[in-house]
A and B are shown apart, each in its own frame.
Chain A
């Protein structure tokens, strides 16, 4: 079945450690996105990528990094520079940016201890 997968569903890390969240899609979508969701708030855009080997910062990129080496994959690294990393992270993809529906993955809940 086509879709977006994120792994793991729950992730625990010690403060000061970098952690990488996985996002894979087999929808043949060009564009991929990472959002952060905090309780009682909407989604905020961290990074997005319109095409392989290209990505741009969103509204809250500080303390995060991404790569887009393959069309299907858009991993997000939460670095130790991110001051408040505990959150629910959602990955999405669409056929192209700015025009089409974004399909969301199931999310990864990151807890930093």
Chain B
């Protein structure tokens, strides 16, 4: 079945690294995404990774993909207060139009 799971909440101190984790169940996923949602706003694509990659780095963001364990993580280096938001992981399956979203992880950055 289709299921994407995330922990609900993460709190870090400003300047520390944040790691947000996600697990998915469908091994046919071709694309995996990280979206950011600020309060009362739509979703903004942060980064994505193809299923044939293990890692992708983009400035402060590092995505790690462990296909064997169906585990995806997003690391934010030098976390800032502006990074406080809800982060959603989502998977896109090869044969489908659908994005399957996790329930989101609320990141709180403490000064």
Q: Determine the chain A residues whose CB is within 8 A of the CB of B48 once the complex forms.
A: 101
B97 touches A40 (CB 8 A): no
CB distance from B39 to the nearest CB of A (A): 11
- Identify B40's interface contact among A41, A58, A107, CB under 8 A: A107
Q: How large is the interface on B (under 10, 10 to 19, 20 to 34, 35 or more residues)?
A: 20 to 34
B40 touches A102 (CB 8 A): no
B101 touches A42 (CB 8 A): yes
CB distance from A11 to the nearest CB of B (A): 14
- Flag A32-52 by CB within 8 Å of B: 1 or 0 each: 000000001111110010100
B103 touches A98 (CB 8 A): no
Q: Determine the chain A residues whose CB is within 8 A of the CB of B8 once the complex forms.
A: 40
Cα–Cα, bound, A109→B42 (Å): 11
A97 touches B103 (CB 8 A): no
Q: Determine the chain B residues whose CB is within 8 A of the CB of A105 once the complex forms.
A: 42
Q: Give chain B's interface secondary structure class.
A: strand
A90 touches B88 (CB 8 A): no
B4 touches A98 (CB 8 A): no
Q: Give chain A's interface secondary structure class.
A: strand
User: Any chain B CB within 8 A of the CB of A104?
Assistant: yes
B103 touches A41 (CB 8 A): yes
Which residues of chain B (72-103) have a CB below 8 Å from chain A? Answer: 88, 90, 92, 96-99, 101-103
Q: Determine the chain B residues whose CB is within 8 A of the CB of A107 once the complex forms.
A: 40-42
User: Any chain A CB within 8 A of the CB of B44?
Assistant: yes
CB distance from A84 to the nearest CB of B (A): 18
User: Any chain A CB within 8 A of the CB of B55?
Assistant: no
A90 touches B43 (CB 8 A): yes
CB distance from A18 to the nearest CB of B (A): 24
Which 8 pairs across A and B sit closest by C-beta, in order of nearness? A42-B101, A104-B42, A97-B97, A104-B43, A98-B97, A43-B101, A42-B103, A106-B42
- Seen from chain A, the residues whose Cβ lies within 8 Å of a Cβ on chain B are 4, 6, 31, 40-45, 48, 50, 58, 90, 92, 97-98, 101-107, 109
